[in-house]
Amino acid sequence: LRPGLGDRVTEVKTDIYVTSFGPVSDTDMEYTVDVFFRQRWTDERLKFNGPMNILRLNNLMASKIWTPDTFFHNGKKSVAHNMTMPNKLL
């Protein structure tokens, strides 16, 4: 469940860095774009007030954390590239 469900809106900030654009097809009305896509939000449920400055999480623990269901409106096709290791910063 998202943070603040039933109480407040969860604000998600996004960054998109375009690494390449094209080719563009006028006849098919299509184009290709490669981007780095980053999202940030605050989830107070994950606040840690322990004696350690750094809390290390493994990939299984990180996969249980809520993430936004982001999509690109009017997109024909989107592909999220899989890495050898999951690429998450918590």
Ramachandran angles phi, psi of 20, nearest 5°: -155, 150
Tell me, rounded to whole angstroms, the distance of Cα 13 from its chain centroid.
10
Convert the pLDDT of each residue in 5-19 to its tens digit.
Answer: 888 888 999 999 999
Tokens of 5: 């469900």
How far apart CA 4 and CA 9 sit, in angstroms, is: 7
Mean pLDDT, residues 21-33: 92
Domain count, the chain: 1
pLDDT at 46 over 80: yes
Which pLDDT value is given to residue 13? 96
Q: What is the mean pLDDT of the chain?
A: 84
Peptide bond into 23 cis (omega under 30): yes
Comparing 89 with 31, the larger pLDDT belongs to: 31
CATH of the domain at 90: 2.70.170.10
Convert the pLDDT of each residue in 64-85 to its tens digit.
Answer: 888 898 888 888 888 877 665 6
- Residue-range definition of the domain harbouring residue 35: 1-90
Compute the residue count for the chain: 90
